[in-house]
Amino acid sequence: MNRRLFLSTAIAAGLSAKGRIPIRTARFTKLFRSPDGHPNALAATPEGLWVGEQVTDIAYLLDWKTGEILKRVPTESSNTSGLAYGGGYLWMGANGGPLGRFARPAEPTYGRIVKVDVETGRTVGVYRIPDEGGVHGVLYADDALWFTCFKWNCITKVDPETFQVLHKFPLHLTRPHGLAWDPPGMWVGYSNDYLYMKQDVKDGRVLDIIGMKKGVDPDPHGMDMYQGKMYICDAGIAPGAVVTNSPTAGYIFRLDAE
């Protein structure tokens, strides 16, 4: 066991012990590959599964059963890391400048949320992340927009109309990634630590923990829930823009926990 995995396991065990929460084991079912091969964001809807591509910054609506493309929406996001669907719009998490492609004229390089018209792909609004850092997970739930804030190391809730900060709750580890709504909590994926934690949205208290096997399971990137099931994707890109070329890279999975 390497040092990082040991520390992650130790931290999870400590958090689990405090609340007497068992660490459940993740089991994955491979579903289909994303259209462009670098999925880094998921948003579940009855119409289909929205997938945000990290390199092309295109949002695709895919058929739940086949992965067939139902809608293709090019966006002005960059280094897409998280997306949400709500209020009739897509909300793209742009984690800085472009990755793996040439920059567009005057393209921003800071972390921001890009509000996108689903029918036209037109940018309706651009909102800088409040702590002026990067962003990975984005979620639309409870008539609000939620996303990760790296510098504050928290989940921030904002009014989607005004982008006014309404609430924050703390995170327990670093490099949070996908988010999924599961009241009274929210699932947070911790990519460096290969852990999913369900945290109470009021105060960040840990309610549930799912552990993954590094080097065996998919690298945790985008995430969402639909009909009680968790779905994740593996972008195939590690920190430092390193392409992993792993067998799980580029795929969407269903996660079941034991």
Residue 11 has pLDDT above 70, yes or no: no
Domain span at residue 138 reads 3-257
Residue 166 has pLDDT above 70, yes or no: yes
> Looking at per-residue confidence, does 72 or 5 come out higher?
72
pTM of the model: 0.91
Q: Kindly report the CATH number assigned to the domain that includes residue 219.
A: 2.120.10.30
What pLDDT is recorded for position 217?
Answer: 96
Q: Taking all residues of the chain, what is their mean pLDDT, rounded to a whole number? A: 92
Amino acid at residue number 102: F
What pLDDT is recorded for position 47?
Answer: 98
Per-residue pLDDT, averaged over 132-150, amounts to 97
Q: How would you label 91-103 residue by residue, b for 16+ Cβ within 10 Å and e otherwise?
A: bbbbbbebbeeee
Rounded to 5 degrees, φ, ψ at 118 are -65, -35
What pLDDT is recorded for position 12?
Answer: 52
Cis upstream peptide for 98 (omega within 30°): no
Sign of CA dihedral 70, 74, 79, 80: negative
Q: How would you label 147-172 residue by residue, b for 16+ Cβ within 10 Å and e otherwise?
A: bbbbebbbbbbbebeebeeeebbebb
Residue pLDDT, tens place only, 21-46: 899 999 999 999 999 999 999 999 99
Sign of CA dihedral 187, 189, 194, 197: negative
The closest alpha carbon to 35, from 13, 48, 51, belongs to: 51
Number of independent structural domains in the chain: 1
The closest alpha carbon to 24, from 226, 159, 213, 216, belongs to: 213
